[in-house]
Amino acid sequence: MSTPDVEMKLLHMDEVEIRRALRDGRIKVSVYGLGHVGSPILAAWLQAGASGVGVDVDEEKILKLSRGDSPVDEPCLTDIFRKALEEGRLKATSDGEGASKETHVKIIAVPTLIDIKGEPNLDALRSAARSIASGLKEGDLVILESSVPPGTTREVLKPILEELSGLRAGRDFGLAYSPERISEGRALRDIVESYPKVVGGIDSRSTEVTATLYSMIAKKGVIKLSNDVAAELEKLAEGIYRDVNIALANEIAALCRKLGVDYDEVRWAANSQPYSHLHRPGTGVGGLCIPVYPRFLLWKAKGVGIDLRLTATARTINENMPAEVSRLVKEGMERLGISNPNIVILGLAFRGDVPDSRLSPTYDLVEHLLSMEVGGIVVHDPMIRKDYELERMGIPLTDDLIKALREADILVIATDHSLYRMKSSELFRMSDRLRLIVDGRHVIEVDSLPPNALYVGIGRPWQGG
């Protein structure tokens, strides 16, 4: 493995030279943010032959990576990090300026959020940009991969880099946006194998250099867009497509329930037509992606005088789903004539079979249920052992399903973990007290119900009684 050449100027090299430099291990990349996006990005570059520096303000993540352990729970990353560490191609640091000085490519993968006013919170991005600018050199390349409102690369990132470094984007250093396109639990595979990499630079040269590098990482190739704004918007459009279609599913599911029809049956038949892609309904949409992207776009659209009514309506529908589930719980209590029940919620994670509760709809569901007269609430999740938000709310979290069910009068399925895919008869055998199942993910097969017990799904009619 060749030693990285700090003086190498990527922006001024031709395609053949860039490819050779990456293959030979002479390119060094720093990744700012070692979360669910940054860690697999770093692994992908290491796997392609680069040397890497992982940068984060979280000392626990730095400690893990410095040992060769992945800072996040993702397949294959630890093996790649340990191998690179043994070969002297990996280090971890909280010194963003130092990492910028010693690397040729700087990738920003820090979290971007929405504040309580509905406005983008880009503080982490600005902080990373200042660190990078302090060590930016002529010929370097900066790539933003965090999901951001359109225009962020040129309106927020570019001015910080130019002002603090004294260099000019497009002339002295390259600047591009290339959105991450990953799903948790398969992130590295998605980067390397599943999808083309989308790239849009602030100028043609930045686009070409970024595309050349990523063409050696992404097996499905690279899609070059006209500029950074198009690439930023493309990423948000992917998520908003899903948000709108999930909202449509939730709306049709509610009608199906009222009409005594099973939404899953309707969906299965409708999707046999190649132009129909009905999604699954559920208790809500979580994670730091789909709930956030519409807010980014709504904020940007408002600034240019555009009213995105469909996007806003879809977001409202999905945000109201925890309240809808709690209404089903209340209706079930009234039908059965029970009061002060013990409620067990199955699932804290925002998506099935991942250990991630960020922006999970379960939190809102708990808040709604607490406003009702209930005896107690317990949340079960097989993949999450500790949660500070539930602790703040005074809600116990357990991974013991059998123990949780023994005390349950009402069972609410909030997450589609594989563990929860079972028959209704199995659940009622686990608990003599259980009277009501509210299935927010349609994971239960209703084979039988005991007397004076009820089942209802988001898009399934009431059964039993």
Closest-CA residue to 355 (of 420, 287, 401, 403) = 287
For residue 174, list its beta bridge partners: 141
CB 190 within 8 A of CB 219: no
- Smallest CA-to-CA distance from 236 within 143, 304, 148 is with 148
H or E stretch at 91:
strand 90-93
SS3 262: coil
Token pair 């599913």 in the structure block, residue:
249
Strands 197-201 and 376-380: unpaired
Distance separating alpha carbons of residues 407 and 432, to the nearest angstrom: 9
- Residue 100: which H helix or E strand, with range? helix 96-101
Cα 133–chain centre separation = 28
289 is catalytic: yes
Structure tokens at 172: 């002295």
What radius of gyration do the chain's Cα atoms show?
25
Measured in whole angstroms, the distance separating CA 331 from the mean position of its chain's CA atoms is 33
Measured from the Cβ of residue 163, the count of other Cβ atoms closer than 10 Å reads 12
DSSP, residue by residue, 117-154: TS-EE-HHHHHHHHHHHHH--TT-EEEE-S---TTHII
Does the annotation count 256 as an active-site position? no
Cα within 13 Å of Cα(333), Cβ side: 21
The residue assigned the tokens 């860039």 is 18
Tokens found for residue 363: 């939190």
Q: Residues 289, 302, 403, 423: which is the catalytic one?
A: 289
- Give strand ranges (E) for 369-422: 376-380, 397-398, 410-413
Given the residues 106, 158, 235, 300, select the one marked as catalytic: 235
- Cβ neighbours of residue 388 closer than 8 Å, sequence gap 6 or more: none
Burial category of 390 from C-beta neighbours within 10 Å (exposed 0-12, middle 13-18, buried 19 and up) = buried
CB of 241 closer than 8 Å to CB of 157? no
Q: Which residues are catalytic?
A: 235, 289
